[in-house]
A and B are shown apart, each in its own frame.
Chain A
Amino acid sequence: MSSLDIRHLSAGIGERTILKDFSLSIPKGEVHAIMGPNGTGKSTLAKSLAGHEDYTITSGEVFLDGQPLLGLEPDARARLGLFLAFQYPCEIPGVSIANFLRAAVQARLPEGEEVAATAYYKRLHEKMDLLKMDRKFTARSLNEGFSGGERKRCEILQMMMLEPKYAIMDETDSGLDIDALKIVAEGVNLMRGPQLGVLVITHYQRLLDYIVPDAVHVMWDGRIVKSGGKDLAHELEARGYDWVSQELAPAGK
């Protein structure tokens, strides 16, 4: 069982149900994209999978490589191999990138084992070089004073250091210029392989020119209404989201 399996997931905030009977399976080794207009549940999906306490799951199940995910604390899900690249990564003043990542890497090691400092820094610098991040950033407080683009790059740095099994990228491309976009995409592409499953959540098709997906799903009103290959993204771009509401989800709003 090597997949992230989302089965009939319904979730929302308070009284409002946002995800409605949402199902999707992301096998290891593949990149799946979800596209959809705002308000359709993309962020809810990301946050619910990560275990954000504001979101209530009303029904459904999620399995990561056969292990039930719902009901686990956010940090337990992360240690199981789930990674969320946030749309709006927050600042953590006073906590340096180096220390933060070291603590995160340490959290995954068995009790008593310590992160080997030189090996850790070597890796960290390697990844930062790949992402064209100035090595001086290791000492800077996490995301403090970072531009949107710098924050997103930092998310990818974290992903590279933590080596998750499944990564959910929540609108990583928002706020990025073309150069930053290319660097981020390159980072993700370097990680692609049989050990990683990726879910790219995006509003625009452009990112998918650089991170070419194996499958594209269109989301509307809390569920997937159409799935296809990478060309579906181009079709969506050409025809717009109105096409979705008119043709693909006529019974909905």
Chain B
Amino acid sequence: MNTDAATTTQIELDREKGNFRYETDYAFDAGVGLTPATIDYIAGVKGEEPWVREFRHKALKTFEAKPMPTHWATKDLEAIDFTKIRYYLSQGQKPSRSWDDVPAAMKNTFERLGIPEQERKFLAGVEAQFDSEAAYSRMKEGLSKLGVIFVGPTEGLKEHADIFRPWFGKIIPTTDNKFSALNSAVFSGGSFIYVPKGVKVKQPLQAYFRINAENFGQFERTLIIADEGAEVTYMEGCTAPKFETATLHSAVVELVALKGAKIQYITVQNWSNNVFNLVTKRGLAHEESEIRWIDCNIGSRLTMKYPGVILKGRKARGEVLSIALANDGQHQDTGAKMIHAADETTSNIVAKSISVGKGRSTYRGLVQIPKHLKNCKNNTECDALLINAHSRTDTYPAITVRGEGNSVQHEASVSKVSAEQIFYMRSRGLSEAAAMSLSVNGFINDLVREFPMEYSVELKRLIELEMEGSVG
């Protein structure tokens, strides 16, 4: 580990005012590699309570003890070198590149998606931050009138511990898997949200407002609590490609929907092709509540993500709608987990994957309905579309249903965009690329419609671009 005695500048995030300012601080640079000293550095920089520091240390031990899950997951995971990763990025350390070095393809995508000039530089890794202060402040004002809390983990655990601490690490325990342990040790950035009883937040809350070095960060930790009867939608990510030198992203997202509450969590992920994106997402749905994950994975080298819902209360409902696009050199290993733990709970999984070129898509679905439960229902539909001869798709459903009056329906299909369909469309004057993207968009159409409009328009364009590149 690098123990540089020189002073390091870093960003101090004052989320309360929407202010982003620099401050000189600590004598040590966290450097590369992960040791207890790294944990102390992070906890120190953030001024965390002792219990949080302790939580992190325990998690580090768990992380080190757990093996890599290559017995069931891809061996590509072995390419991750934990000793070479920076676990806490501060302003001075973030590598930068010049606009000239940005690949033409990425610039082209920005152009085609209509990304504003100032955002392009941030997304392309040319500038370290994007100042969205004004938009963020306005949103904060409106929310605080409703009593909604929307802060980062540091502030959440310090200023609102009474609200967040009871649930923190309970939906996804540190020990859940190696990467939830890693996140629990080094988490930084993310959103902690509390919506009071009966409050229905109309506007989707977006992480995008608070873009900075941390928030598009490697180890985000998000916790959203919707109190009884509350409703909230949260959106993270964007369709624009995001350049990252950091190769490992390991986020943890915990959702809690109390009685009659509704949480909708929408993600669009388009990391550059060098990133390992290993995420644990799970929601706890109480009586008559609803948790819905809408997930779109287009980027990264390897994504492993299985959003799940524990249906704890009677008549709770869980849903996962997932779109994955795997192009050359990409593996999208995604799916869903539905754990029924009460009567009359329902779950719905619709997963559509597209494999292009040498891309690989994997679906893993877990559905559990134990024998003592009654009148539970699950519906799963997983469809895969293969575009070229070398693309690959695998499906691993793990369905356990017992008891009386419970039903499960599982449909799976694999199809290729048929040559006949392409010829038919071309005979009307559409180019091969246009025909391909029309087919692909047709395949995912009913899922894309679930995204808020700005996203769905961008998503369609993004897929057109991906298809154009793949034809031939």
Contact = CB atoms under 8 A, between A and B. Distances in A.
B430 interface: yes
A73 interface: yes
B82 interface: no
A92 B429 contact: no
B429 A86 contact: no
9 contacts: A51-B426, A74-B423, A74-B426, A75-B431, A78-B426, A92-B438, A94-B442, A100-B438, A107-B428
Interface residues of A, number: 30
Interface string B136-176: 00000000000000000000000000000000000000000
A238 B105 CA distance: 65
Nearest to A78: B429
B418 to A, nearest CB: 7
B439 A104 contact: no
Interface string B406-444: 000000000000111101111111111011001101111
A75 B418 contact: no
Interface in A69-91: 73-75, 77-79, 83-84, 86, 89-91
A73 B430 contact: no
B118 interface: no
A103 B434 contact: yes
Contact of A104 (B428, B432, B444, B446): B428
Contact of B432 (A75, A99, A141, A158): A75
Interface of A: 50-53, 73-75, 77-79, 83-84, 86, 89-95, 99-101, 103-104, 107-108, 141, 158, 162
Nearest to A95: B442
Contacts of B96: none
B430 A103 contact: yes
Interface residues of B, number: 24
Contacts of A94: 439, 441-446
Interface in B431-467: 431-432, 434-435, 438-439, 441-446
Taking each of A74, A86, A90, A100, which has the highest tally of chain B beta carbons within 10 Å of its own beta carbon?
A74
A90 B429 contact: no
Contacts of B444: 94
A82 B421 CA distance: 18
A79 B438 contact: no
Contacts of A79: 429
A95 B439 contact: yes
A75 B443 contact: no
B434 A93 contact: no
Given A90-B420, A107-B434, A100 B425 contact: yes
Contacts of A107: 428-431, 434
Given A52-B423, A86-B424, A95 B432 contact: no
A91 B439 CA distance: 11
Nearest to A101: B428
Nearest to B444: A94
A94 B438 CA distance: 9
A90 B421 contact: yes
A104 B429 contact: yes
Contacts of B430: 75, 103-104, 107
